[in-house]
């Protein structure tokens, strides 16, 4: 087998050596040391959930505005991809979606920036994530039309009236590697009407029968090597691997999972087995342009994977940024000055924070954002504030803050609205927020004026142990199902975002409905410098 990115750092090579050794020990009860004189050797490069971190991240997890002094980002990714392609003639590269949203770069420049930079990245195909629909289907359609490589979505059913109808998205493509046909199928995220802003005419076919049909069509054309690219999350990828015959590799996204040494989710790759018992390799590569996944697969003459090795390779400082992509970053950085020049205040607080942290527990940006919403809402009688963890996209930067930092934390332009709910509706909402796998994920609710305790070990739907209203001086009062409470919340939740149907039924209260980033800005200006850490309101019970 070939070697991986010879000029990566020593730590990366060590990581890959361990992953290779792990595979070589045949822990998966399959012939991983079998010889392969007549089959195909393939190198698969993959990314997912880049979220417009085009210049990478700094040591605190904040999105950078230039690659220098940071790690990750599309300029380093371009270098790694181009180097591998230059050294080998058996490379395919795919992205599993969610290139949109997440940094000020996207807020200021939108999808044309991504299509422009993607012209410099040697991908073969991508699928659509839920965030590709954040600005509505017209923007999605523009992106699909402008993309320099194919967008694959076999399950997308753009019905009459949907701007995506007639755009050049495809169910699958066939590539030739060393004269051998390789099929690539895409499955987009089917929840874009509840997770994002897709139009009502955006429908999706069921994943499993759609995938079986695509595999049948490829096999009729003599394709015996099939890669599936999805944006549905690691558990769903593993399920499809076990249920659908004919898939060799699944490249996934959506759940931001890192696989490999130190991961609680599994090794790189995770090896599932199809209904007939053939190995199916499942990979994903973290998120936010931190890694490039590189999987080497050896197939036998029948197209069955018989050996593999690889890793999610960190795009660290040892990988030099690509000059052409760097020039694009500098070009799009100019538009950020209109936001970064507006001084807001000073943050002297230090606490766990950032996109991932806000999905698994209390985070600083969640505490301050909900405090700001409740501070605004009190003039209209609000007692509680709510925001979903997936709405918090970046850590609240330490030190001097500008308006760009506000948009990094809250990039969606959601409005803060005031509604009356019963205690029962709020309890249902809290249960919904912790109903996902292990009680974590984008729906988890961050609160102000309300503290709740949940136990992820309990059955889903019965995980809320205690919910109490917070009064003056940290006094508490149990939430009463029959009582009514006034709540400041982001309108995404009222629109049934993240499945919050119960929060679509509140009683409206007359108020101006300001943008959440503006509410956060006003609060920080009022209380700057921030130096007192609020007490936790989202408490995980461990026993």
Q: Which CATH number fits domain 10-30+42-333: 3.30.870.10, 3.40.50.300, 3.40.50.720, 3.60.21.10?
A: 3.60.21.10
CB 523 within 8 A of CB 376: yes
Q: What is the pLDDT of residue 146?
A: 98
Euclidean distance between CA atoms 65 and 230, whole angstroms: 29
To the question of domain 342-540 being in CATH 3.90.780.10, the answer is: yes
Kindly list the domain boundaries of the chain, sorted by start residue.
Answer: 10-30+42-333, 342-540
Q: Which pLDDT tens digit goes with each residue over 336-386? A: 999 999 999 999 999 999 999 999 999 999 999 999 999 999 999 999 999
Angle, alpha carbons 160-163-165 (nearest 5°):
55
Contacts 24+ apart (CB under 8 A), 2-7: 2/41, 2/43, 2/87, 2/88, 2/296, 4/84, 4/294, 4/296, 4/310, 4/311, 4/313, 5/80, 5/83, 5/84, 5/294, 5/313, 7/83, 7/318
Whole-number Å distance between alpha carbons of 155 and 204 = 5
| pLDDT confidence tier of residue 105, bands split at 50, 70 and 90 | very high
What pLDDT was estimated at residue 487? Answer: 98
Q: Which pLDDT score is estimated for 52?
A: 97
Report the SS3 class of residue 289.
coil
Q: What is the pLDDT, as a whole number, of residue 27?
A: 31
In this predicted model, what pLDDT tens digit does every residue of 506-530 receive, in sequence order?
Answer: 999 999 999 999 999 999 999 999 9
**pLDDT reported for residue 6:** 41
What's the whole-number mean pLDDT along residues 264-271? 96
Residue 440: pLDDT band with limits 50, 70, 90:
confident
Give the per-residue pLDDT at 171. 98
């Amino acid at each position: 087998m070939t070697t991986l990115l010879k000029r990566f750092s020593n730590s990366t090579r060590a990581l890959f050596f361990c992953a290779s050794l792990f595979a070589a020990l045949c822990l998966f009860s399959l012939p991983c040391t079998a010889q392969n004189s007549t089959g195909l050797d393939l190198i698969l490069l993959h990314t997912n959930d880049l979220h417009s971190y085009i210049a990478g991240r700094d040591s605190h997890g904040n999105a950078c505005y230039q690659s220098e002094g940071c790690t990750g980002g599309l300029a380093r990714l371009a270098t790694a991809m181009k180097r591998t392609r230059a050294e080998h003639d058996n490379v395919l590269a795919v992205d599993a979606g969610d290139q949109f949203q997440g940094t000020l770069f996207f807020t200021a420049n939108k999808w044309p920036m991504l299509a422009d930079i993607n012209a410099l990245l040697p991908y073969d195909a991508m699928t659509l994530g839920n965030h590709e629909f954040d600005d509505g289907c017209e923007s999605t359609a523009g992106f699909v039309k402008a993309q320099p490589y194919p967008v694959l979505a076999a399950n997308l059913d753009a019905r009459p009236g949907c701007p995506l109808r007639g755009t050049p998205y495809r169910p699958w493509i066939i590539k030739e590697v060393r004269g051998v046909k390789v099929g690539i199928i895409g499955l987009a995220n089917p929840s874009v009407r509840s997770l994002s802003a897709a139009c009502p005419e955006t429908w999706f076919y069921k994943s499993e029968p759609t995938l079986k049909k695509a595999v049948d069509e490829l096999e009729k054309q003599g394709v015996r090597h099939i890669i599936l690219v999805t944006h549905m999350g690691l558990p769903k990828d593993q399920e499809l691997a076990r249920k659908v015959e004919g898939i060799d590799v699944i490249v996934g996204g959506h759940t931001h999972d890192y696989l490999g040494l130190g991961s609680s989710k599994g090794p790189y790759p995770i090896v599932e087995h199809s209904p007939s018992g053939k190995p199916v390799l499942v990979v994903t590569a973290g998120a936010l342009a931190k890694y490039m996944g590189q999987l080497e697969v050896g197939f036998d003459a029948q197209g069955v994977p018989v050996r593999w090795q690889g890793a999610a390779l960190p795009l660290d400082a040892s990988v030099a940024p690509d000059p052409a992509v760097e020039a694009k970053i500098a070009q799009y950085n100019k538009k950020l000055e209109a936001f970064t020049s507006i001084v807001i205040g000073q943050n002297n607080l230090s606490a766990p924070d950032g996109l991932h942290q806000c999905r698994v527990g209390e985070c600083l940006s969640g505490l301050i954002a909900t405090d700001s919403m409740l501070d605004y809402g009190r003039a209209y009688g609000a007692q509680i504030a709510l925001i979903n963890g997936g709405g918090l996209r970046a850590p609240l930067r330490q030190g001097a803050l500008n308006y760009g930092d506000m948009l990094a934390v809250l990039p969606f332009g959601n409005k803060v609205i005031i509604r009356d709910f019963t205690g029962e509706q709020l309890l249902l909402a809290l249960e919904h927020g912790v109903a996902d796998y292990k009680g974590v994920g984008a729906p988890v609710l961050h609160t102000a004026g309300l503290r709740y305790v949940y136990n992820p070990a309990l059955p889903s739907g019965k995980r809320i142990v205690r919910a109490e209203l917070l009064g003056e001086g940290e006094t508490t009062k149990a939430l009463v199902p029959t009582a009514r409470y006034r709540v400041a919340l982001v309108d995404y939740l009222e629109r049934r975002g993240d499945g919050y149907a119960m929060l679509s039924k509140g009683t409206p209260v007359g108020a101006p409905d300001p943008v959440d980033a503006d509410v956060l800005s006003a609060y920080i200006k009022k209380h700057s410098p921030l130096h007192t850490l609020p007490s936790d309101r989202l408490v995980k019970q461990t026993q």
